[in-house]
Amino acid sequence: MQTQGLLQRYFKLEQHGTNVKTEIIAGITTFLTMVYIVFVNPSILGVAGMDSQSVFITTALIAAFGSIFMGLLANLPVALAPAMGLNAFFAYTVVAKLGLSWQVGMGTIFWGAVGLFLLTLFQVRYWLIASIPTSLRVGITAGIGLFIALMGFQNSGIVVASPATLVTLGNLYSSQVLLAILGFFIIAILASRNIHAAVLVSIAVVTALSLLLGNVEYQGIFSMPPSVSNVVGQVDLAGALDIGLLGIVFSFMLVNLFDSSGTLLGVTEKAGLADDKGRFPKMKQALLVDSVSSVTGAYIGTSSVTAYIESSSGVSVGGRTGLTAIVTGILFLLVIFLSPLASLVPLYATAGALIYVGILMSSSLIKVRWDDLTEATPAFITAALMPFTYSITEGIAFGFISYCVMKLFTGKAKQISIPVWVVSVLFLIKIIFIDKGIMH
């Protein structure tokens, strides 16, 4: 009872209309909804040459660190973990396409996170968010969704490379492809029935069937956490400061800026904690926890850390305070003793989750004013070029530039904010001078 009294006072449970039991249930719900990241993140970063079991541990650790500190310092029911989308961008574009080492690639994530921290520290973060037009914000979100979905289709074998048409349909008779398709529909059907652990159930079913078919080898479930020395602190900070990588650093910072800030606004609004201007209690602390977690995450070998929209599942069952986030964080700490599961989960078992996340993120396109070409054009270009160029950076760059072109030559130049002008000019400089130097 004394412990409950302490929790009541620290988290102000009565003031928020909740209690310890409700907060614990909400924390478990949030955990079950987002725990898929400890399987998906290692499978994606493993493509970049990182040790999957080590990434499993660091993913769980940074999710625990971010979530617990969000609960303690900001008293918000918001959990944090490595961001979907940016992990795929890191593995498939920054490392695989550009040929960088994963250490240098992780360095670009680190410096992007440092940039986000500085924007937060000097309180310009929300000024930037408010200055970026809806069409570009939506285009970035949807484009990342399409990019993630493409990764899912590729990892599943549903979409494969073709010298004649760039891409084509894969072998639908392959057991791996069929299992990946099954996994996706398990998620889609369960999620539509409001079952919060849909992604986790899908990964478990597909992995179990893969085990029965002999596609994967059982190596146990519980173990002491393996060493993470081969990823923690291995980030190449100096190598990532190459001028040719500034566009990538900028993209990591910009995407994380939109992603995390938008999620914090969305979850706090759903919890009834935000006012009509989007402000919520302890906003400064929340933003600092979020940005510090990103810097820490990159240093220990994970992709950019962000607030998770899955936190809204905990809010939907009554979570209103930081106790929800702390419960989620503690459960992530316990996960580190399940590291053998990371090697058991095949890449195609997580493909359905990527496609599902793509659906959720692409749905934001409904917010675009399609009847206004000065808004629709940059939104479409931003979203379409990310998967078609295999690069989030290029999608953002051409989206911003096209926005300025459309507004400038249709007599609507006054609608272009200063941050949009600045970002567009920076990307033009990158394309004209930096990219030209790299290509030649």
pLDDT digits (tens, 9 = 90+) for 75-97: 999 999 998 878 888 998 899 88
% of the chain residues with pLDDT over 90 = 47
Quick one: 404 and 333 in the same domain?
Answer: no
Q: Name residue 331's amino acid.
A: L
**Phi-psi domain of 226 (left: phi exceeds 0; alpha: psi -120 through 50; beta: other):** beta
Average pLDDT, the chain: 88
Q: Which two tokens stand for residue 401?
A: 């530039």
Q: pLDDT value at position 332?
A: 95
Contact in structure between 327 and 28 (CB atoms under 8 Å): yes
Quick one: 237 and 290 in the same domain?
Answer: yes
**192 in any annotated domain:** no
Q: pLDDT value at position 438?
A: 44
**410 in any annotated domain:** yes
Q: Name residue 78's amino acid.
A: V
The answer on pLDDT for 439 being more than 60 is no
Mean pLDDT of 245-264: 83
The answer on pLDDT for 434 being more than 90 is no
Quick one: 283 and 233 in the same domain?
Answer: yes
The answer on pLDDT for 261 being more than 90 is no
Quick one: 283 and 411 in the same domain?
Answer: no
**184 in any annotated domain:** no
Total count of domains within the chain: 2
Quick one: 127 and 253 in the same domain?
Answer: yes
Mean pLDDT of 209-225: 87
Give the max Cα distance, the chain: 70
- Tell me which residue range forms the domain holding 121: 12-145+220-343
The answer on pLDDT for 399 being more than 80 is yes
Quick one: 124 and 266 in the same domain?
Answer: yes
Quick one: 261 and 135 in the same domain?
Answer: yes
Contact in structure between 418 and 133 (CB atoms under 8 Å): no
The answer on pLDDT for 62 being more than 90 is yes
Instruction: Give the tens place of pLDDT for each residue, 356-391.
Output: 888 988 888 999 999 999 999 999 999 999 899 888
Instruction: Give the tens place of pLDDT for each residue, 272-283.
Output: 777 766 677 788
Q: pLDDT value at position 309?
A: 77
Task: Kindly indicate the confidence band of residue 292, based on its pLDDT and cuts at 50, 70 and 90.
Answer: very high
Q: pLDDT value at position 2?
A: 60
Q: pLDDT value at position 283?
A: 82
